[in-house]
A and B are shown apart, each in its own frame.
Chain A
Amino acid sequence: MTDWFQVVVFVALIWATAPVLGRHLHQVFDDQPQPLFDPWLIPVENGVLRFIGERGRPAEQAWDYLRPLLLSNLLFGLVALAFLLFQPPWLNPQGLPAVRWDTALHTAISFLTNTDQQHYTPEQSLSDLSQLGALQFLFFTSAATGLAVGFAFIRGLCGRPLGNFNTDLIRAITRVLIPLSFVFALVLLVNGAPMTLAGPITLKTLEGADQILVRGPVAGFEAIKQLGENGGGFFGANSAHPFENPNPFTNLLAMVAMFAIPAATIDAFGRFLGNRRQATLLLLLVTVLFLALAALAISSEQGGNPLLAAWLSGPNLEGKEVRFGAGLTALFATITTGSMTGAVNGAMDSLMPLGGLVPLFNLFLQVIFGGQGTGVAYLLVFLILTVFLTGLMVGRTPELFGRKVEKGEIVWSSLILLIHPLFVLVPAAITLSYAPTLSGISNPGSHGISQVVYEYASAAANNGSGFEGLGDGTLWWNLSTIVSLLGGRYLPIVALLLLAAAFARKPKVPPGPGTLATDTGLFTVVTGVVILILGALTFFPVLALGPIAEAFSLVNAR
């Protein structure tokens, strides 16, 4: 019961923060005056822009926006890679050695792409310098890159120039990510998350053995980890670790932090468009989809394992942090995969088959709140496809927001649709073909399929959570997921920006009674169906062979 209550509180908090934060995001990315921030942030921002030689002219072509994006990201990645490869003795209380090259490369790219897959155990591999200089640095830049892309896309769809990437990147960091994570970090600190550069403490356990307790600048790390939808933990146990997630209150805040910015981005989109009703309906759509998935996940975990019913009644507690229980773990799993965070407070691998289907489904769709900035962009791409399919049915060349949807839009939108299965299914099929040599799968049967597909889906969707149980610290896993990480991140970004730039240049068509209205309940329902059909039909066979077959096997075994 308390689990369902948490769901209600959670959704209420998201809906309450979305307009407030959305207004702020609109001000930031619409370059509106912000008396609270301007006096002391403008000098800082202008200083940085001057330093990098940016004059702040808005991009005329998509490539004007893309070039600095790709260059800066390359630079960020190289910096992080250097930290990991060399791992100098500074701020390295445990004296950890350099990270293996393929793990370092995978980690740098994984954090650069806002994914944060971790094929290593952080507290045993990374110095504080690496955690701060490489990972926490990328937490900010990757989230800011995502936000910049999201708002450039929104601008284009609203018929405006894309804007200036460097300005967007810096303002996203100074006005959105730093202030929010500062406040959140303080709350975490108050609740007991450590924030120190001192080394680990060694404790004597009750049995008399030595236990090394790693500490670090966790509170600050944790805040941006959640808010930026990054998800890479300071500790291997991620949000199940008491230092990262001290109590149920911080657990609730961590969940809110994951959805807060994507929800607010949808709200801000409505403000950019001058049609808040449209944004509210989209928010409602993803909320309903989210609630349906959360309900499935929570109920299947609460139901427990029927095969164990004879000995063990009650919820499925395998792989759960008992502080949170089955319900909250399932809820957290739904949120962390819906948003592209990837932080976990329990083991995905131990979820019931249908409980495990939910995160997988989220990773396939990528729009149930979705990634930082990119979530709303994917959602709008589905809107474009829906407008195209249904718009024809009202007898007009389909129009969205007063502009015609024609070949160009369809080419880019459908390419975005194609990229995801390409980078999920193809590597998964290759891996499964050579399962004995490559995969290190810990489970036979359907569950093994879920493990492998999940790993690539998490990489391509830039989520970063792992189904685990997978020996993924190998050369094969590191290198093959890198392909999915990069393909799943930068190809859609290029396509999105090309789409938006071309769309903005189209002549505006005034709306009339013959125009298909997109801000109606009916159209929103249709969009939901199109998302489910186009997004899920592709992956239905693997879902069927993975979690669905596993669920049936449980029923049959009884």
Chain B
Amino acid sequence: MTTLQPPIFPRMPRGRRDQRRYTERPRSDGLLGRAVLQSFVKLDPRLTVRNPVMFVVWCGTLVTLAATVEPRLFELSPEAPGRGFNALLSLILLATLLFANFAEALAEGRGKAQADALRRTQASTQARRLLPDGSEALVDSSALRRGDQVRVSQGEMIPADGEVVDGVAAVDESAITGESAPVLKEAGSDVASSVTGGTRVVSDMLLIRITADPGKGFIDRMIALVEGAERTKTPNEIALTVLLAVLTQVFLIAVATLPPVAAYINSPTPVVVLVALLVALIPTTIGGLLSAIGIAGMDRVAQFNVIATSGRAVEACGDITTLVLDKTGTITLGNRLAEEFLPVGGHSERELATTAHAASWFDGTPEGKSIVRLAEKLDAVTALQMDTATGLEFSARTRMSAQLLPELLGVQEFSARTRMSGTDLADGNELRKGAVDAIKGFVRSRGGTVPDDLDEAYERVSRLGGTPLAVCWNAEIQGVIYLKDIIKPGMRERFDQLRRMGIRSVMLTGDNAITAGVIAREAGVDDFIAEATPEDKIAVIQAEQRLGRLVAMTGDGTNDAPALAQANVGVAMNSGTQAAKEAANMVDLDSDPTKLIDIVTIGKQLLITRGALTTFSIANDVAKYFAILPALFGQAGLAPLNLMGLASPQSAILSAMVFNALIIPALVPLALKGVAFRPATADELLRRNLLLYGLGGLVVPFIGIKLIDLAVSALRLV
């Protein structure tokens, strides 16, 4: 008896998304403590100078500190603010800097914790390298180079990324995916042959060809990314930084030119107050939170168990206008189930069921198993001698598979082109099932005829949105199996949301046009490409891009790699091949294609958070003017501008500055979590966010400053 068991298929996403397990959150013990420490380390001017807005605050702090030490350093007038006021102001400015640093450190810390967890899996291991003469040598994993072959057996750690050359084994990938169930790895298979360094073989033995030099492996890249070592500013972030820098310069001009103007009307302008005015006007809120927002965006993606190769990729997600999705596994549940047998050509249902049962005996796919189950339910169990027969496997590319007798193994290649599967019995009978046109070809090649009612059955199944599989016994077509496709729950709503966000979805499927059309309509996708081969993906993507659209797609196979590289956002499944993972700009550790939709949301959230806080920050300036100008120029007749009725000039200035400082930590949670986002059209989003952050930015500081002023004057701080 041959030892072929129904193969364990690569792990597919299971269950509803909210019930699925995600990687354990990195431990956050000590995170706050480390962030506090980092906020002081980041006061180093060499680090601060990278952020022009905060650098101005940094310089301002120096000035006020100097004025605290010697209040008469900058002014001689006796009315100049005293040491106490200057000290308070210095403290507030220092707090502003620390708060901004803290936000950044906190965001970075979360990534670092994750990186540490990953690094633990990277402990140097011994590897058995295969020498050219066939013997083995024990080497350190760091000595392995691309192209080396290593043998890894049960209980051992896989030393580096590679492709399985020989062997079948179960591998525990929980270190990177958090999923505890081991995954089957075997040579030759498109999706199951890539292994990741740091994962553990839990059964059997693998011969692996190393595909990554030390330090360049998948985990190394992940560590570098989550740690932010490779963090470069994204295009939008750069544009925003430019705008903030110019605004800072504009306000610098406005404040720096103020003393001569004020001097003309004999109104003194103490340097410390000018520093306060400048710091209040420049967009410190967004300037302090900008990098934290970016880091947190990457982190949010990572929490979804997706590794993005760059912040640019996450940001690009927000701009996606077209999603290219595989039908199977993304829109429909991965496994189609046999629903009905439709006999043709005068055969009985039982006859068909029996043949289907036999043809599917070796078919380990969920579809194959469901056919066996359905046949058994009809009590159509085959009486054939299955233990002498051999299966021909289905090929995703050719949409067929077959089972071979041991003596026919030499013609496996031929059978792979026939787009069918089935069973060759020991007595020479060939049982096949497969795509209807493939079976037609098979039957004709055996000199048989196609029954007239086959097309009718084929169309009936297609109209129901099912996949028709023809079944034949030698040259005789006995009927069609109706494989029912089950659309994942909630898909229609998700596509509706996407459409409202302006994202078009295109479904790719190997099904015929009628089936594809029915599924597309039921699932609510905008467009579909039927009878598509993986190569069609790249054509679809290029066609969309020619229209100026930005395309996202998911893929796992090696033949998806060009399309993943072509797409603006390519998400590779972790179960996929190394080639796919390298071509993609994100890797989904859960191998869940629907996650693309979540990533798009995160990308949008990232941009919205940035825009919202910028708007808020700039809108705040109005209130700050009304607090500081009347305080500064009260004698010059501007006292009536004190709309908030702040207690005294000094308390007004301090209150505005305290507000300016406190708003940063107050907004840290928002910056790290991202603003609430629900899919809506651009106009709805704009209206909502303008009301919240634009109008809010105008009103909140008036209230905030007034409240702080009440506290300041109650405490008699000044």
Task: Report Cα–Cα, A393/B605, bound state, in Å.
Answer: 9
Please encode chain A, from 118 to 150, with 1 for each CB lying within 8 Å of some chain B CB and 0 for all others: 000000000000000000000000000000000
Contact of A395 among B238, B265, B318, B687 (CB under 8 A): B318
Best-buried of A405, A512, A529 by chain B (most CB within 10 Å): A512
| Bound form: Cα–Cα A411–B618 in Å | 18
> B585 within 8 Å of A by Cβ?
no
Q: Which of A404-433 contact B (CB under 8 A)?
A: 405-407, 409-411, 414-415, 417-418, 421-422, 425-426, 428-430, 432-433
Give A151 to B629 CA distance when docked, in angstroms: 41
How many angstroms from the CA of A529 to the CA of B315 in the assembled complex?
28
The complex places the Cα of A509 from the Cα of B264 at a distance, in Å, of 53
Contact A549 B636 (CB under 8 A): yes
Q: Give the interface segment out of B380-388, B483-491, B678-686.
A: B678-686
Contact mask for chain B residues 275-297; partner A; CB cutoff 8 A; 1 contact, 0 none: 00000010000000000000000
Interface readout for B594-605 with A: 1 if CB under 8 Å, 0 if not?
A: 000000000111
Residues of A contacting B318 in the complex (Cβ-Cβ under 8 angstroms): 395-397
Contact of B607 among A397, A435, A449, A510 (CB under 8 A): A397
Minimum C-beta distance from A229 to chain B (A): 26
Known contacts A406-B235, A533-B618; A421/B682 CB under 8 A: no
> Which residues on the B side are within 8 Å of A515 (C-beta)?
502, 682
Given contacts A392-B614, A507-B548, A545-B633, contact A417 B250 (CB under 8 A): yes
Residue of B nearest to A422 (CB): B253
Listed stretches A25-33, A329-337, A534-542; interface member: A534-542
A429 pairs with B261, CB closer than 8 A? yes
- Tell me if A510 and B265 are in contact (CB < 8 A): no
* Distance of A520 Cα from B619 Cα, bound (Å): 22
Minimum Cβ distance to chain B for residue A365 (Å):
14
Residue of A nearest to B281 (CB): A537
Residues of B within 8 A of A540 (CB): 254, 625, 629
Inter-chain contacts of A298 with B (CB < 8 A)? none
Check B258 against A541 for contact (C-beta < 8 Å): yes
Q: CB of B321 within 8 A of chain A?
A: yes
Q: Which residues of A contact B267 (CB under 8 A)?
A: 545
Which residue on chain B has the smallest CB distance to residue A532?
B622
Provided the pairs A394-B608, A411-B242, A526-B690 are in contact, do residues A520 and B683 lie with their beta carbons within 8 angstroms?
A: yes
CB–CB B625/A537 < 8 A: yes
Q: Which residues from B are CB-within-8-Å of A549?
A: 265, 633, 636-638
Whether A513 touches B681, Cβ cut-off 8 Å, given contacts A415-B246, A417-B250, A526-B694, is yes
How many Å lie between the Cα of A541 and that of B258 in the bound state? 7
Is the pair A418, B637 in contact by a Cβ cutoff of 8 Å?
A: no
B463 contacts chain A at the CB level, 8 A cutoff: no
- Name the residue on B nearest A557 (C-beta): B637
CA–CA, A245 and B539, complex, Å: 69
Is A432's CB under 8 angstroms from B260's CB?
yes
Could you tell me if B243 and A388 are in contact, using CB atoms closer than 8 angstroms? yes
The answer to whether B611 and A449 have CB atoms under 8 Å apart is no
Q: Which of A395, A448, A541 has the most CB of B within 10 A?
A: A395
The answer to whether A397 touches B319 (Cβ under 8 A) is yes
B501 with A544: CB separation less than 8 A: no
Residues of A within 8 A of B619 (CB): 533
- Which residues of the partner chain A approach B607 to less than 8 Å between Cβ atoms? 392-393, 395-397
B255 contact set on A, CB distance < 8 A: 541
- Are B253 and A395 in contact, CB atoms less than 8 angstroms apart? no
Query: For the complex, is A523 an interface residue (Cβ under 8 Å from B)?
Result: yes
Instruction: Check if A393 sits within 8 Å of B548, measured CB to CB.
Output: no
A541 x B694 contact (CB < 8 A): no
List chain B residues, Cβ under 8 A from A517: 682-683
Interface of A is mostly: helix
A residues less than 8 Å from B640 (CB atoms): 552, 555
Q: Do B689 and A393 have beta carbons less than 8 Å apart?
A: yes
List A499-538 residues whose CB lies under 8 Å from chain B: 507-510, 512-517, 520, 522-523, 526, 529, 533-534, 537-538
Nearest-neighbour CB distance to chain A for B652, whole angstroms, equals: 15
Tell me whether B503 is interfacial, beta carbon within 8 Å: yes
A407 to chain B, nearest CB (A): 4
A221 CB to closest chain B CB, in angstroms? 37
Complex contacts, A539 vs chain B, CB 8 Å:
254
Q: Tell me if B163 counts as interface (CB < 8 A to partner A).
A: no
Q: Is A391 an interface residue (CB 8 A)?
A: yes
- Say whether, besides A432-B264, A508-B548, A544-B629, A396 and B682 are in contact (CB < 8 Å): yes
CA distance A389 to B286 in the complex (A): 12
Most chain B beta-carbon neighbours within 10 Å: one of A410, A417, A548: A410
Chain B residues within an 8 Å CB radius of A445: 265
Pick the contact of B641: A407, A514, A548 (CB < 8 A). A548
In the complex where A514-B502, A556-B637 touch, is A393 in contact with B262 (Cβ < 8 A)? no
Q: How far is the CA of A390 from the CA of B260 in the complex (A)?
A: 36
A458 close to chain B: CB less than 8 A: no
Nearest-CB distance from A547 to chain B (Å)? 11
A6 on the B face (CB < 8 A): no
| A538 contacts B608, C-beta separation under 8 Å | no
A202 interface hit (Cβ, 8 Å) = no
Given contacts A397-B236, A414-B243, A540-B629, contact A428 B261 (CB under 8 A): yes
Instruction: List 9 A-B pairs, Cβ < 8 Å.
Output: A393-B607, A395-B677, A410-B239, A411-B242, A432-B260, A516-B682, A526-B694, A545-B267, A545-B636
4 smallest CB-CB distances across A and B, nearest first, come from A514-B502, A392-B611, A395-B604, A414-B246
A391-B611, A393-B689, A552-B640 known; 15 new pairs, CB 8 Å cut-off, are A393-B686, A394-B608, A394-B611, A395-B603, A409-B239, A429-B258, A435-B264, A513-B499, A514-B681, A514-B682, A515-B502, A541-B261, A544-B633, A545-B262, A549-B265
